[in-house]
């Protein structure tokens, strides 16, 4: 069985898996945030969940796969023992399931474990040995589908009659990806691995960038992630489904002002701030927030300094990768945020000291 995970029109991971008796084996190759391969072996427990798991992760570095980083998991009573380079720890986890980013086979296992309970909703232990340890697979039935919780929203999954995943759609969550079953044999899986390693396709899908500009005596800096459209209707509902958008991707977007600035109608003191965009239809506002050093989804309205209306221009020339710029115009300097066919602008200038 094989699965492909896509972000818009771009493939970000491929997986090949097989099952024999009570054992599931598979491998996932993923491009983001770096080219990496995760191999796993999961043995089901008779009472539900898994009994033991072996996971190894390798990253592509300097033209070869780096040494493996192994993790072993073993269910003991209502807990899971986790052994890795970091040592040994116990996690409370009765009937645990396993999470590897981009894995449709392991998601099939988690959904099957939920359906096996015969309840309308449940929270199962969701162990992520790569990139994190604990969590909950919070699921509920939605007709023939199962809705489950991800960071920043819910995703929807549907199993085929044979128990394997037909699809999992996380486009309404912050992950934004969609996993689908694929007609991919082991030979083709290995060919994709060779192609990706030969081209060294790994790297952040939304790379960081820094805008630096000087307006008179004012120096400003904007550090932000730059997502691509990837064929998606990014403004179909807010921005990628978010009414409050991080004005970028991944880590929060930060604005640093060397001196007081007038942004739109508001006077903003010198300092470092986080930027968000409130967007509904053709209405938008720039949110300047005091809370800094955060992930882009950790918005707290109590820390808002200002919400300032943005000028919205629709049906603009296509901008594939989100771009923030300082632009001189006929009415003065503006801060510009452009993506897809839309551009938001707001006047910015140093505060004049009498």
Q: In the chain, what are the domain boundaries?
A: 2-199, 208-350
From the list 349, 339, 340, the residue with the least C-alpha distance to 247 is 339
If pLDDT is split at 50, 70 and 90, which confidence band does 24 have? very high
Continuous segment of H or E residues that includes residue 244: strand 244-245
CA distance 2 to 27: 10
Q: Is the pLDDT of residue 227 over 70?
A: yes
pLDDT at position 134 is 66
Per-residue pLDDT band at 354 (split at 50, 70, 90): low
Q: What is the pLDDT of residue 81?
A: 93
Position 353 confidence tier, pLDDT thresholds 50, 70, 90 = low
Q: pLDDT category, 153, cuts 50, 70, 90?
A: confident
Residue 133 has a pLDDT of 61
Q: Given a cut of 80, is residue 131 above it in pLDDT? A: no
What percent of the chain is modeled with pLDDT above 90?
82
Contact present, 211 and 325 (Cβ < 8 Å): yes
Highest mean pLDDT pick, 35-44, 94-103, 116-125, 170-179 = 35-44
H/E stretch holding 186 reads: helix 186-199
Residue 170, pLDDT > 90, answer: yes
Dump pLDDT digits (tens) for 37-81: 999 999 999 889 999 999 999 999 999 999 988 999 999 999 999
Q: What does the DSSP 8-state code read for residue 298?
A: -
Report the pLDDT value the prediction gives residue 148, as an integer from 0 to 100: 92
Average pLDDT, the chain: 93
Residue 130, pLDDT score: 79
What secondary structure, in 3-state letters, does 32-78 show? Answer: CCCCEEEEEEEEECCCCCEEEEEEEEEEEECCEECCCEEEEEEEECC
The arithmetic mean of pLDDT across residues 261-271, rounded, is 97
pTM (two decimals): 0.89
What is residue 198's DSSP assignment?
A: H
Position 132 scores a pLDDT of 63
pLDDT, mean of residues 194-205: 93
Name which of 196-205, 256-265, 266-275 the model is least confident about.
196-205
Rounded to an integer, the average pLDDT of 180-194 is 96
For residue 337, the tally of other CB atoms under 10 A from its CB is: 25
| Mean predicted confidence (pLDDT) in 196-222 | 95
């Amino acid at each position: 069985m094989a699965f492909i995970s896509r972000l818009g029109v771009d493939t970000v991971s491929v997986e090949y898996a097989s099952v024999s008796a009570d054992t599931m084996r598979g491998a996932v190759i993923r491009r983001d945030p770096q080219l990496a391969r995760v191999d796993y072996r999961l043995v089901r427990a008779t009472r539900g969940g898994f009994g033991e798991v072996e996971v190894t992760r390798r990253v592509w570095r300097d033209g070869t796969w780096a040494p493996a980083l192994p993790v072993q998991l073993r269910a003991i009573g209502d807990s899971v023992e986790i052994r890795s380079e970091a040592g040994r720890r116990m996690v409370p986890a009765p009937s645990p399931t396993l999470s590897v980013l981009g894995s449709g086979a392991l998601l099939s296992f988690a959904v099957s474990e939920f359906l096996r309970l015969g309840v309308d909703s449940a929270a199962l232990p969701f162990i992520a040995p790569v990139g994190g340890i604990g969590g909950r697979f919070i699921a509920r039935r939605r007709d023939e589908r199962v809705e489950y919780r991800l960071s920043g929203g819910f995703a929807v999954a549907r199993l085929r009659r044979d128990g394997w995943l037909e699809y999992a759609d996380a486009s309404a969550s912050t992950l934004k990806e969609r996993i689908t079953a694929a007609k991919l044999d082991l030979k083709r899986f290995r060919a994709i691995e060779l192609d990706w390693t030969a081209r060294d396709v790994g790297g952040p899908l939304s790379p960081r960038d820094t805008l630096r500009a000087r307006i008179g005596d004012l120096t400003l800096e904007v550090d932000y992630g730059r997502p691509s459209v990837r064929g998606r209707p990014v403004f179909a509902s807010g921005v990628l489904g978010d009414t409050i958008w991080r004005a970028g991707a991944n880590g929060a977007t930060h604005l640093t002002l060397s001196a007081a600035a007038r942004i739109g109608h508001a006077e903003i003191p010198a300092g470092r701030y986080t930027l968000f965009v409130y967007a509904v239809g053709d209405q938008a506002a720039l949110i300047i927030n005091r809370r800094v050093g955060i992930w882009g989804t950790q918005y707290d309205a109590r820390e808002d300094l200002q919400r300032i209306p943005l000028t919205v221009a629709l049906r603009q020339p296509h901008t594939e990768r989100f771009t923030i710029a300082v632009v001189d115009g006929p009415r003065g300097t503006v801060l510009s945020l452009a993506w897809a066919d839309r551009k938001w602008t707001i006047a910015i200038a140093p505060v004049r000291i009498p």
